[in-house]
Amino acid sequence: MLDSLGNMTSPDERAGPLLLRVQRAEQQLAEVLRNIPAGYATLDRNWTFTFANQQAIQGSRQRAEDFIGKNVWAIWPELAGTELERQYRQVMETGVPAHFEYYGETYDAWFEMHVYPTEDGISVYFQEITKRKRGEGALKASERRYRALTELNPQLILMADTQGMVTFANQRLLDYTGLRLEEICDEGWRKAVHPDDELRTLGAWTEALQREVDLQVETRIRRGADGAYRWFWVRGLPVRDEQNKTLYWLGVCIDIHEHKLAMEELRKSQQEAEHQRLELETMYRTAPIGLALFDPVEFRYLRLNDRQAEIVGLPMEEILGRTLTEIAPIEGLNEMFQQVASGTPITNNLLEGELPMQPGNHRYWTVNYYPVYGSDGTIRAITAASLEITAQKRTEKALIQSEKLAAVGRLASSISHEINNPLEAVTNLLYLALNHEEIPAATRRYLETAQGELTRVAHIATQSLRFHRQTMNPVRVDPNEMLESVVYLYQGRLVNSNIQVVSRHKSTKRVLCLESDIRQVLNNLIANAVDAMRRGGRLLLCTHDATDWKTGRSGVRITVADTGHGMSAQVRQRIFEPFYTTKEVNGTGLGLWISHGIVSRHHGVLKVRSSDKAGWSGTVFSLFLPDEQNPFQATQ
């Protein structure tokens, strides 16, 4: 035979390389068997080990010298009669490979066995699978526990495939709905859902399937026993594999009926509480008394209502955050708050003083201050309630003054009435004395002077009676005569105060009025003029026919002007307010207020002009009374 170069070769020469390749192949196979990650061993027909790789030796827990050439049944006599021996002998006898799993009690381990027949006996390929078997056992045990828990779970549990078709429902769900599993499967579960919730629940389930996200929906499910619906919280989760692919869906329905009802009651209670809060807030904001809340340390305004802002005289936003002493620097008020901050409330306490926003205006309040405690027992705030009683206090003073004036008026009327008779007697006696023929000339002069003074006393008494006697019906009076009769009452003060009276009467009309009321107005105007000229001056009294150009009405204008100290612009703005006075304890602040009211009831107009500039000071009051029949009817 020719070799690759074309030379002749003998059979022995040709067998050498072939044998060499076979040996190399056997060596490679042996190397592979030694290094495979599983145990491999061979047994001859006498059950003696002829080969074992390192993994087989390690897996047998034996040394190599105690393994190769040894009889398998001698090494492990406990294997006699086991499934392993039966499988080994069956392969040895039949020549049919076997594949089985075997638990070795000696090693407390599981093995996966592959047994193959050979010319000399059998070969064994095995791997320890203890971890896998224990995992499978744990998985089976877990599945059994899961199924038991599923059946024992008080919740309604179900499973569905990736298309949303129900494949499983626990017994609790079946018992509650009264449906069979085959009735619930597919979309039969919709029969148990409340009709009003069905579309909403189906929509949520469809969206969860499409997006492969958790399902959470509240719905009502019918109870099969009585047909009643109860609220459930339905939660569904996609179960995924290691590649995050959804395998199936697991769902649970948790009974939240009582919770739902409680939440509904809570919602209603919250709505009612909010309604009540708004009502209380409205009451707080619109309460006719001042309400405020202060911090208990620096006494700063935390909140206040509209009335309190009105009392202070500043917008609410300018008050919040400011301290009590900034807003109301009233003597003793800070000490009262310190008392409340120590835990002692103050009730029905009278507070009086002036506020910076209205200087010169002395005011009165009834106040109540209480500490507000927190849950830990500490004082968290101070609440304040203030009822302004300034008008009440001024009214009380005015009533007292009015009673005094009324008493004086009644006394003056009584005196005037009682002295008329003796005055007439004295007047008659003086008349007889003056007409006596033998009276000396000097004595006659004295008697004439006495008669004149007595006439003036009688006139004063008569005017006093006219002030006190009020008529309910209007009469037409001569404004000139009425003005002079009133000023006559002040003759003494006018002389003593060095006041010159200038009268200019040009009126030709008689006005319809309540005479005593208009006399009271004139009396107030003249008295104020005299008070303004303590060091002397000039009093101008004028009457003339006039027309009110604003209304076109005709009537009479009476002017009372003085050269006194005058009034500032601020005083002029407030002179017609009740209880406003610049005379301190000598005035009530009611004279001009009452006069303004009387003039208004007569459909008249009372105006004032005044100046307090040095050298130009003085005040002019102008009283216009209309010459008309209404609202009064003249008396004859």
| Residues 517, 585 share a domain | yes
Residue 525 located in a structural domain: yes
Residue range of the domain that includes 522: 474-626
Same domain assignment for residues 302 and 328: yes
Residues 118 and 242 in one domain: no
pLDDT > 90: percent of the chain: 34
pLDDT at residue 527 greater than cutoff 80: yes
Considering the domain architecture, whether residues 522 and 602 belong to the same structural domain is answered as: yes
Residue 519 lies in a domain: yes
Spatial separation of the C-alpha atoms in residues 197 and 185, rounded to whole Å: 19
Check residue 513 and give left, alpha or beta (phi > 0: left; psi -120 to 50: alpha). Answer: beta
* Whether residue 486 sits in one domain with residue 608: yes
377 lies in the same domain as 299: yes
Q: Stretch 217-236: mean pLDDT, rounded?
A: 94
Are 558 and 544 in contact, with CB atoms under 8 Å apart? no
User: What total number of domains does the chain contain?
Assistant: 5
Q: How confident is the model at residue 620 (pLDDT cuts 50, 70, 90)?
A: very high
User: What are the two backbone dihedrals, phi and then psi, of residue 123, each rounded to the nearest 5 degrees?
Assistant: -120, 145
Residues 78 and 162 in one domain: no
Q: Residue 633 above 60 pLDDT? A: no
Taking a C-beta distance cutoff of 8 angstroms, is the pair 230, 255 a contact? Answer: yes
**Which DSSP letter does residue 164 get?**
S
Domain end (from 255, 278, 307): 255
- Please report the pLDDT score of residue 2 as a whole number: 42
Please check whether residues 94 and 180 belong to one and the same domain. Answer: no
Based on the domain organization, do 506 and 621 belong to the same domain? yes
- Is residue 590 included in any domain, yes or no? yes
Q: What is the pLDDT of residue 494?
A: 85
Residues 6+ apart with CB under 8 A from 46: 71, 121
Q: Is the pLDDT of residue 586 over 50?
A: yes
Write the pLDDT tens digit of every residue in 182-206: 888 877 888 899 999 999 999 999 9
Separation of alpha carbons 234 and 202, rounded Å: 12
pLDDT tens, position by position, 449-502: 777 667 766 666 665 555 555 556 788 889 988 888 888 878 878 888 898 999
Q: Which of 388, 409, 425 corresponds to the end of one domain?
A: 388
142 assigned to some structural domain: no
Residue 420 has a pLDDT of: 64
- Measure the CA–CA gap between 124 and 97, rounded to whole angstroms: 10
* 230-244, 372-386, 419-433: least confidently modelled range: 419-433
Domain shared by 490 and 566, yes or no: yes
pLDDT at 401: 64
> Residue 577 in contact with residue 596, Cβ under 8 Å?
no
> Do 584 and 510 sit in the same domain of this protein?
yes
Tokens of 91: 């392969």
CATH code of the domain containing 511: 3.30.565.10
Beta-carbon contacts of 288 under 8 Å, excluding residues fewer than 6 positions away, are 307
229: in domain: yes
**At 144, is the pLDDT very low, low, confident or very high (cuts 50, 70, 90)?**
low
CB 15 within 8 Å of CB 9: no
Among 339, 359, 388, the domain-final residue is 388
- Could you give the CA distance from residue 271 to residue 133 in angstroms, rounded to a whole number? 62
Residues 517 and 544 in one domain: yes
- Which residue is associated with the tokens 């050979």? 118
Decide if 12 is inside a domain: no
| Range 118-142 average pLDDT | 81
Look up the CATH number of the domain holding residue 222: 3.30.450.20
- DSSP bridge partners of 284: none
Q: Would you give the distance in Å from CA 352 to the centre of its chain?
A: 33
11 located within any domain: no
Domain assignment present for 615: yes
pLDDT band at 531 (very low <50, low <70, confident <90, very high): confident
Helix (H, G, I), strand (E, B) or coil at 110: strand
Asked if 162 and 147 touch (Cβ cutoff 8 Å), the reply is: no
